[in-house]
Amino acid sequence: QKEVEQNSGPLSVPEGAIASLNCTYSDRGSQSFFWYRQYSGKSPELIMSIYSNGDKEDGRFTAQLNKASQYVSLLIRDSQPSDSATYLCAVNKRGSYIPTFGRGTSLIVHP
Taking contact as CB under 8 A, which single stretch among the options 13-21, 27-35, 57-65, 67-75 is the one that binds other proteins?
Answer: 27-35
Q: Indicate the DSSP class of residue 77.
A: S
Q: Which is nearer to other proteins, 18 or 46 (CB)?
A: 46
* Contact between 18 and other proteins per CB under 8 A: no
* Contact between 21 and other proteins per CB under 8 A: no
d(CA 97, CA 86): 23
Q: Footprint of other proteins on residues 35-54 (CB under 8 A)? A: 36, 42-46, 49, 51
The runs of H, that is alpha helices, within 44-106 are none
* H or E stretch at 30: none
Q: Any idea how long the chain is?
A: 111
d(CA 43, CA 4): 19
* Contact between 95 and other proteins per CB under 8 A: yes
* Residues of the shown chain interacting with other proteins in the complex, contacts defined by CB under 8 A: 31-32, 34, 36, 42-46, 49, 51, 88, 90, 92-104
